[in-house]
Structure 1
Amino acid sequence: MNIKNIHIGSLIQSKVEEQQISIERISKFLGKMENDVERMYCEKSIDTDTLLKWSKLLKFDFFRFYTGHLILYAPYSRVDNTIKQLDETMVFRKSIYTQEVKDFILEKIRTGTMSANDVIAKYRIPKTTLHKWLKKI
């Protein structure tokens, strides 16, 4: 799984194969012709309404790949964590990292592709957070 370059069609196809769901059932659920379903497997991106239907059918959150990508490649700054509503300010102090993101980062460290300091610098993950992850492995 390449979290930097997401090809959602192939991810969906692998989940379909894993769960052994028939093309007829998929076609009926999505309201699409079978050849349209097959074409979706080749698509790099899919509209969100269709992706939501796939997520429901396969009981898997495909949006999580995009969330993971955002956490790694477009990390929030302190300003981004602030939401203003009618002269009130809400600050979100804690980022939520999915298990896929944690696995991706820990794999980089395990294989020696990146050091812990490289990860902290590149992805702006707090040092204490990364060390907690490393203690658990």
Structure 2
Amino acid sequence: MLYKDIHIGQFIKERVNDMEITIDRICNFLNKDEEFVENIYSSKSIDTDLLLRCCKLLEYDFFRLYSSHLILYSPPSAIDKSTKTKTSNIPYFRKNIYTQEIKNFIISRILSGEMTHNEIIKEYSIPKSTLHRWLQKNNNNG
């Protein structure tokens, strides 16, 4: 899974095919015509309300693709986190919550020889102890 370049329409189409959902059902659920649905499939990005409806219909969290991208590819914050004040009313999410997909992606890059431990730590800002814990669990399970 490559999280760097997300073409959401392709992921939606693949999920539709996997679930064998008819175009009629999709059109009825979205209250749109077939041309609109085909445009979704060819779109690199779509409106978040529409994406949320697709998540519900297809029983899949497509937003997680974007969260995974943020975890892997966003640069470290230039702001000292200890000096941040919580004056905002929007929810704050910790960046260091890794999904199993992210862990598998990172471990596969190491096991394939594509990246070294140090390259992973530097590129993705994953703590050394966290990476070693993932690798140890992988060795115990594999």
TM-score tier after normalising by the smaller chain length: 0.7 to 0.9
Distance 2:81 2:23 in 1: 42
2:103 aligned counterpart, secondary structure: helix
* Deviation readout 1:49-101 (Å, 9 max, x if unpaired): 00000001111100000000001111543847565235xxxx97771011221
Task: Name stretches of at least 5 consecutive residues in structure 1 with no aligned partner.
Answer: none
- From the two aligned structures, give the one with the greater strand fraction: 1
Using the aligned pairs only, state the percent identity: 52
Match of 1:118 in 2: 119
Q: Which has the higher contact order (CA 8 A, sep 6+)?
A: 2
> 2-side partners of 1:6 and 1:65: how far apart?
8
2:68 maps to 68
Alpha carbons of structure 1 residues 81 and 15: separation in structure 2 relative to 1, 3 Å: farther
TM-score scaled by length of structure 2:
0.85
Distance 1:52 1:67, change over 3 A: same
Aligned-partner residue type, residue 135 of structure 2 = L
* SS of structure 2 residue aligned to 1:96: coil
Give the letter for the 2:52 counterpart.
Answer: L
- 1:15-34 per-position Cα deviation (integer Å, ceiling 9, x unaligned): 11111111101111111111
In 2, Cα distance between equivalents of 1:59 and 1:103: 22
What SS does the corresponding residue of 1:102 show, helix, strand or coil?
helix
Structure 2 CA distance, aligned partners of 1:39 and 1:93? Answer: 34
TM-score under structure 1 normalisation?
A: 0.87
Question: Take 2:14 and 2:94, find their aligned partners in 1: how far apart are those partners?
Answer: 36
5+ long unaligned stretches in structure 2: none
Matches within 5 A, 1:74-113: 74-77=74-77, 79=79, 81=81, 84-86=85-87, 95-113=96-114
C-alpha distance in 2 between matches for 1:96 and 1:78: 19
- Contact 1:81/1:93 (<8 A) preserved: no
Number of residue pairs the alignment of both structures matches? 133
Identify if the C-alpha distance between structure 1 residues 107 and 44 changes in structure 2 by more than 3 Å, giving closer, same or farther: same
Structure ranking higher in helix proportion: 2
Distance in 1 of aligned mates of 2:123 and 2:48: 29
- The SS at the match of 2:42 is coil
In structure 2, the partner of 1:23 is: 23
